[in-house]
A and B are shown apart, each in its own frame.
Chain A
């Protein structure tokens, strides 16, 4: 088996002197969806931030397409083709939708028109509201702006930290559909989700984290079928 496209391998570390992650491993294959689930405080978001270089690892490595990127800053990882959508404050509220997307493409020097059209095709509502301040949009539309902004760099990996936090179930289904669509274009997706059942349903690979370490790792379908996972983490 070849190495996965993006892997955070045996990551140990935290924000301060206390480790939050203990030898945690997260990986995603090209064009696939990997989902991190687990109880509150399991280190899901921390694992995500570790992969993106937002905290220092004491040990372990992050490799993108075979290249060790453990030492790179988040900005350098953006240039390498990674994109990150934070859980909160993930849009520029005072700027228009289109300006948000333009800022997403800040590092690009080529014509962004085609990518802009792709994002508008994926999220048609954004085209209708492109001159409106992003802060005036609804929760679901804001998440679309946030994902759209991240897609503007034409990333190879899209990382989403709880993209459906605080949106209605209907909007959540809609967002998951869009995420599947993004994955079909060949972009790998790594996301943390509270709505574990729905997220594992669309996941190629699922990671159940407990106290900063891998508890279960399998395909999304297998985890959903696993009696113990169901009992402990999915509410029966």
Chain B
């Protein structure tokens, strides 16, 4: 029995990766849920909006580095983020102007707009691959570890290392800051309240003199910001590959729906539910079990429920279970 080593192994292989991944999913799901709440359609292009935002971040990071600009121990990408957000916001605003506004004016059914967003997704996907290519890009720089595993082992004399990568810490801190800022904006500011009012009851919002064009534009800008941050953080933490963002769409939508579509708090909770389920189901528990169980009962298999290749099945299963038993999600969102 070695509880301490088991705990460290759990933190190292399950908790910390799950926390960082959950933060990335939650940020993505927040964008999806905001669009759903205010523009009333499921935006399938959100994953590729994230890819676009991350791509601009990478290009700017390269440019900054070529000029000798860095951010000390932190990734240079953080410096590039504000500019990437501006570029992505411009892209989605133009998209709204030339594509979505047409369907909004015609009061098109949400199912039609969903398919429209699918088209937008393919176009954005193409743009990203055309500009940066299909290959994997690694753009994380600065200090690699916040908590170095060797240093941890030396200091504690435990058999198990504990590593906290800078990108993981940056991910969690940024996500907390962004979510705090978003909730402050939605709860306390006049514009934020008008967005909630518009989401709650569009007709009454119009009767109250709330300008729908302004609400729509601000929603797109915020969604672009969230997508860029989520995309860049995911790229920093794992690595950037255009196709992975398309695959991220499933866990992101699962998170938004599990939490309750249109409910920002639900999106965050859903993000962590999905991320931790995925990590726990695909984690090999052999090491932790060996520490906890008596030697005679030590497992001789990996104790891995699902291979990581099947991790998307986890989101899908949770999605189906929630839709069957709680169609409006854990936090009372809108029903589909």
Contacts and interface: CB of A to CB of B under 8 A. Distances in A.
6 contacts: A86-B207, A89-B201, A95-B193, A95-B197, A103-B193, A106-B209
Interface of B: 190, 193-194, 196-197, 199-201, 203-210
A107 interface: yes
B209 A91 contact: no
A78 B204 contact: no
A198 interface: no
Contacts, number: 56
A86 B203 contact: yes
Given A95-B196, A102-B193, A78 B208 contact: yes
B235 to A, nearest CB: 35
Contacts of A89: 201, 203-204
A103 B206 CA distance: 10
The 8 closest A-B pairs by CB, nearest first: A107-B209, A92-B200, A103-B197, A94-B200, A106-B208, A78-B209, A103-B208, A106-B209
A94 B210 contact: no
A217 interface: no
B203 A103 contact: no
Nearest to B212: A75
Contacts of B190: 102, 106
A104 interface: yes
Interface residues of A, number: 21
A140 to B, nearest CB: 19
A93 interface: yes
Interface centre among B193, B194, B196 (most CB of A within 10 A): B193
A86 B204 CA distance: 8
B201 A93 contact: yes
B211 to A, nearest CB: 8
A207 interface: no
A106 B210 contact: yes
B201 A99 contact: no
A90 interface: yes
A72 interface: no
B204 A91 contact: yes
B207 A78 contact: yes
A90 B196 CA distance: 15
Contacts of B196: 92, 94-95, 99
Contacts of B207: 74-75, 78, 84, 86
A104 B208 contact: yes
A149 interface: yes
Nearest to A76: B209
A145 to B, nearest CB: 11
B59 to A, nearest CB: 40
A79 interface: yes
Contacts of B206: 74-75
Contacts of B204: 86, 89-92
B208 A149 contact: yes
Interface centre among A74, A90, A92 (most CB of B within 10 A): A92
Interface string A77-114: 01100001010011111110001001110110000000
A153 to B, nearest CB: 8
A209 to B, nearest CB: 23
A73 to B, nearest CB: 9
Given A86-B203, A91-B201, A95-B200, 19 more contacts: A75-B206, A78-B208, A78-B209, A79-B209, A89-B201, A89-B204, A93-B200, A94-B196, A94-B199, A94-B200, A95-B193, A103-B193, A103-B205, A103-B210, A104-B208, A106-B190, A106-B197, A149-B208, A153-B209
B209 A75 contact: yes
A4 to B, nearest CB: 23
Nearest to A85: B207
Contacts of B205: 92, 103
Contacts of B200: 92-95
Interface centre among A95, A103, A104, A106 (most CB of B within 10 A): A103
Nearest to A105: B208
B135 to A, nearest CB: 45
A113 to B, nearest CB: 15
A92 B195 CA distance: 12
Interface string A195-209: 000000000000000
Nearest to A74: B207
A98 B203 CA distance: 19
A90 B209 CA distance: 14
Nearest to A135: B200
A78 B204 CA distance: 12
